[in-house]
Amino acid sequence: MKEDAKSVYTFSNGVMLFRSTMLDLQIARYQEDGNPNLHEPVEEWWLRRCIDLVDHNEPVIVDVGAGVGYYSVLVKRNWPSARVVALEPLPAHADAIVAHADLNGLAAGTIDLRKEALSDVDGEAEFVPESYGSRLIPPGRRSDRGTIKVRSLTLESLLGQIGPVDVMKVDIQGLELRVLAAAPAALASGRIKMLIVGTHGPDLFEGVRRILSAHYEILHEDPAPPHQPDGLIVARHRQAGA
């Protein structure tokens, strides 16, 4: 992805993205009064706060539904010793993560990119490729839109591959409740110390909050944070805070 400097958008935190990977409505949101030119200001504040709460120097950060890599790049720029795992099944966005890592001066392979989708079942799934609105079709449902096949895995399977996680950010376009509800053992175990979950609608917000409250302290909850399109729940496992 080769573009000139005028085609690069620079956020106030120094992260750079190619404008061709962004939507006009996103750029307009970044430039709204009160937005400090950040992708999602409240979520970013909490991501930084959670990483600062990690009690060792090599945090494991997992970016589920990584999009074009904004948060993955942000973490590697600011915490070079962190292990960053990015899950992004949309081919165009996965390619953009690689391009944006290079644009921001990160070495190839610095971000562990996995072209998979988090789901409530392991296997192959139907995926609607609609840019930032891309989403999995839950098992047993159909879509009237064109779909592609992607590999899906459960939260339990993901943890089995990568091990314990210090901070996991989850933005999976409405499947967040199904994924968490299918992983009671993973949530109870404390293998994910902190979770930052984007929620897509009031029912999903309440469902996610209820599930996490069984084992996590809710650090922040807001169904409509300013300058963000989704609700937000931030939680810390009670064992991590002990």
User: Over the stretch 80-103, which tens digit does the pLDDT of each residue have?
Assistant: 999 999 999 999 999 999 999 999
Asked whether residue 120 is domain-assigned, the answer is yes
Residue with the bigger pLDDT between 188 and 138: it is 188
Q: Residues 180, 159: contact at Cβ < 8 Å? A: no
Question: Rounded to an integer, what distance in angstroms lies between the CA atom of residue 62 and that of residue 203?
Answer: 25
Look up the CATH number of the domain holding residue 146: 3.40.50.150
Asked whether residue 185 is domain-assigned, the answer is yes
Band of the pLDDT at 125, cuts 50, 70, 90?
confident
CA distance to 43, 103, 133, 189, 202, per residue, from 169 (Å): 9, 23, 17, 18, 19
Q: Residues 84, 74: contact at Cβ < 8 Å? A: no
- Percent with pLDDT over 70 in the chain: 94
Asked whether residue 242 is domain-assigned, the answer is no
Asked whether residue 213 is domain-assigned, the answer is yes
Under DSSP, the state recorded for 138 is P
Q: Residues 62, 169: contact at Cβ < 8 Å? A: yes
When divided into structural domains, the chain yields a total of 1
Q: Is the pLDDT of residue 160 over 90?
A: yes
Asked whether residue 165 is domain-assigned, the answer is yes
Band of the pLDDT at 141, cuts 50, 70, 90?
low
In one-letter notation, the amino acid at residue 58 is E
Asked whether residue 182 is domain-assigned, the answer is yes
Bridge partners for 192 per DSSP: 165
Asked whether residue 184 is domain-assigned, the answer is yes
pLDDT recorded at residue 1: 45
Q: Is the pLDDT of residue 242 over 90?
A: no
Tell me the mean pLDDT in the region 137-147: 70
Q: Is the pLDDT of residue 139 over 90?
A: no
pLDDT recorded at residue 92: 95
Question: Rounded to an integer, what distance in angstroms lies between the CA atom of residue 180 and that of residue 232?
Answer: 15
Q: Domain range holding 166?
A: 5-237
Band of the pLDDT at 164, cuts 50, 70, 90?
very high
Asked whether residue 181 is domain-assigned, the answer is yes
User: Over the stretch 54-86, which tens digit does the pLDDT of each residue have?
Assistant: 999 999 999 999 999 999 999 999 999 999 999
Bridging pattern class, strands 216-222 and 231-237 = antiparallel
